[in-house]
Amino acid sequence: MEYKLKNMSVEEKVGQLFQVGFLTPTVNGQVRDMIENYHVGGVIYFSRNIESPEQTAELSNQLQQIALSSGSKIPLFISADQEGGTVTRLAGATHFPGNMALGAANDQDLTTEVAESTASELKNLGINVNLAPVLDINNNPDNPVIGVRSFGGDPKLVAELGAAYIKGMQSGGVIATAKHFPGHGDTDTDSHLDLPIIKHPRSRLDQVELYPFKKAIQAGVDSIMTAHVYFPAIEKEEDIPATLSKSVLTDLLRNELKFEGLIITDCMEMKAIVNTFGTVEGAVKTIEAGSDTVLVSHSYQRQKNAIEAVIEAVKSGRISEKRIDASVKRILSLKAKRINLDQVDKADPAQINFKNHKKIAQKLAEKSLTLVKNENVFPLKNIKGKKMTIIDFEMGRVSLAENEGEKNNLFANYLNKEIINLDHIRLQKNAVLSFDDQQRIEASDLIIVCTYNATVNRDQAKLAEKLAENNNVLVLALRNPYDYQLIDKTQAFITTYDYSPAGQKAAADFILGKIKAKGKLPVSVDL
């Protein structure tokens, strides 16, 4: 490692501190330029880069080949947000239920098993960094960005499951990244859009927000991602997000909590940074504050400008080369540990046991399915003779079907195999039933309303409540358990915490009486 560092130019060292995104599923001129001429240390995949396991593996192999044949010949960090649940990037990979489902199951061994399986898929697609797990404690029902990405509302539960997840991910040879330090759970602002503020005193932060991160550090987590959130109890200068705060990253995370791993920023193109200091100046300031890796996910021009700004900051003396060297040493050390500095194993999706992983996903879905309310609806008797109507909603990019273009959701397909008299109505976001729809619903023994973030799309909950005045109504929350706070009249409520295929099958199997709902709410959803 030392020989690599000794022979690197300032430009090559600074490049190692950056991780960049690009816009295509193949190697384009921009990402090639970033690797060959700007010497970036890593790339990040989004769904725009991923079409299939085979294509993803080939892309990873090509990118590594470019990195190992140019500049200082150092392999890339290749990362993705493969959290499970509502945040999954890998087309063709196993769609595991997410963190809040793991919280509802509350099984550390199963959490480790899910993480190991995820790591196997990532590694065999050439992805060596998972930007997971989320260790934010979702104790604010109005949080627009964390929600079901959290294990729950209890610091001890989040810490235990987070440590179990880290263990599974890193034992599978993939870098785990605990995020978003020092905590993004108790906000009602999305840092993609503006700068959130958490005003709790330090004593409360120690007991709640910081607790899972302390346990993650004890568990040996490789990497921690920063939050674009302002914490007045830690950072005295007004409106400085944690990502740009030396008090947060160096004084607290490095010196007080003794974290020796890699500090990576959340994307520096999020509005919490763009609207305050901007991506370019923000890149300089976050390195001054203590970050090792600067994430710029989208704009090629901003990526170039940010790298050039940091190089200029080193050459002008604003940032010392010794400070850059400290981060490069951490980067090279972690690459040597998890990847290998001299050669990279070829990605090969044929090595992935998708069949077994699907079973593990189903096991989690069944263990996490949660029955929140049941007023003499379940168990259903003589179910095959019942008339049922499923109502769901157009939800933009979210698809409840396994294949694009399918009208039915998976949940409806599973029920349709065993219930003869089953109707399926899909509504627009405004959730208005036509006269024909109302006629179709008549004489239904059970109406199932599939909500998706009804806390935002409130017409979904209003429709369920109106129908419950004259019908038996089950609300199936396919994402947000907090939808329950809008439900009063409906007779039953179950939640899968996300729309994964395994979760939809578990919900259908419960209604058919094949399984029991074993999950327990990991958050408070009191009316």
Asked, for residue 280, whether it belongs to a domain, the answer is yes
Asked, for residue 282, whether it belongs to a domain, the answer is yes
Model pLDDT for residues 128-149, shown as the tens digit of each residue: 999 999 999 988 777 657 889 9
pLDDT bucket at 191, cuts 50 / 70 / 90:
low
Flag whether pLDDT at 527 surpasses 60.
no
Average pLDDT, stretch 3-26? Answer: 94
The first and second tokens of residue 446, run together, are 């059970």
Q: Are 413 and 287 contained in the same domain?
A: no
Residue 228 bears catalytic tag: no
The first and second tokens of residue 423, run together, are 């109707």
pLDDT at residue number 108: 98
pTM: 0.95
Q: Are 303 and 381 contained in the same domain?
A: no
CB 38 within 8 A of CB 15: yes
CATH code of the domain containing 303: 3.20.20.300
Q: Are 185 and 269 contained in the same domain?
A: yes
Please identify, among 291, 323, 351, the residue that sits at the C-terminal boundary of a domain.
Answer: 351
Q: Which of 81, 186, 222, 266 is catalytic?
A: 266
Q: Are 323 and 462 contained in the same domain?
A: no
pLDDT bucket at 20, cuts 50 / 70 / 90:
very high
321 to 8, 167, 180, 264, 307: CA distances (angstroms): 12, 34, 28, 19, 14
Model pLDDT for residues 82-120, shown as the tens digit of each residue: 999 999 999 999 999 999 999 999 999 999 999 999 999
Q: Are 309 and 391 contained in the same domain?
A: no
Average pLDDT, stretch 325-344? Answer: 95
Asked, for residue 326, whether it belongs to a domain, the answer is yes
Asked, for residue 518, whether it belongs to a domain, the answer is no
Residue 382 sits in which domain range?
A: 369-511
Q: Are 91 and 196 contained in the same domain?
A: yes
Q: Are 391 and 346 contained in the same domain?
A: no
373, with CB counted inside 10 A (0-12, 13-18, 19+), is: middle
CATH code of the domain containing 485: 3.40.50.1700
Model pLDDT for residues 410-421, shown as the tens digit of each residue: 999 999 998 889
Asked, for residue 356, whether it belongs to a domain, the answer is no
Nearest Cα to Cα of residue 461 among 493, 494, 483, 444? 483
Strand 175-181 to 223-226 pairing: parallel
Q: Are 334 and 386 contained in the same domain?
A: no
pLDDT at residue number 483: 94
Q: Are 341 and 385 contained in the same domain?
A: no
pLDDT at residue number 402: 59
Nearest Cα to Cα of residue 57 among 11, 91, 13, 94? 91
Asked, for residue 524, whether it belongs to a domain, the answer is no
Mean pLDDT, the chain, integer: 93
Model pLDDT for residues 420-445, shown as the tens digit of each residue: 899 999 998 778 899 999 999 988 99
Please identify, among 325, 351, 377, the residue that sits at the C-terminal boundary of a domain.
Answer: 351
pLDDT at residue number 189: 61
Residue 206 bears catalytic tag: no
Q: Are 376 and 276 contained in the same domain?
A: no
Flag whether pLDDT at 397 surpasses 60.
no
The percentage of residues in the chain with a pLDDT greater than 70, rounded to a whole number, is 95
CB 363 within 8 A of CB 110: yes
440, with CB counted inside 10 A (0-12, 13-18, 19+), is: middle
Average pLDDT, stretch 489-500? Answer: 96
Model pLDDT for residues 265-311, shown as the tens digit of each residue: 999 999 889 888 999 999 999 999 999 999 999 999 999 999 999 99
pLDDT at residue number 246: 97
pLDDT bucket at 185, cuts 50 / 70 / 90:
confident
CB 515 within 8 A of CB 506: yes
Q: Are 93 and 241 contained in the same domain?
A: yes
Q: Which of 33, 107, 190, 192 is catalytic?
A: 192
The first and second tokens of residue 58, run together, are 């080939």
Q: Domain count of the chain?
A: 2
Model pLDDT for residues 246-262, shown as the tens digit of each residue: 999 999 999 999 999 99
Model pLDDT for residues 48-91, shown as the tens digit of each residue: 999 999 999 999 999 999 999 998 899 999 999 999 999 999 99
Asked, for residue 63, whether it belongs to a domain, the answer is yes
Q: Are 110 and 221 contained in the same domain?
A: yes
Flag whether pLDDT at 405 surpasses 60.
no
pLDDT at residue number 275: 87
Nearest Cα to Cα of residue 196 among 211, 177, 182, 210? 182
pLDDT at residue number 403: 56
CB 70 within 8 A of CB 33: no
pLDDT at residue number 1: 64
Asked, for residue 516, whether it belongs to a domain, the answer is no
Nearest Cα to Cα of residue 370 among 206, 455, 281, 484? 484
Please identify, among 294, 319, 351, the residue that sits at the C-terminal boundary of a domain.
Answer: 351
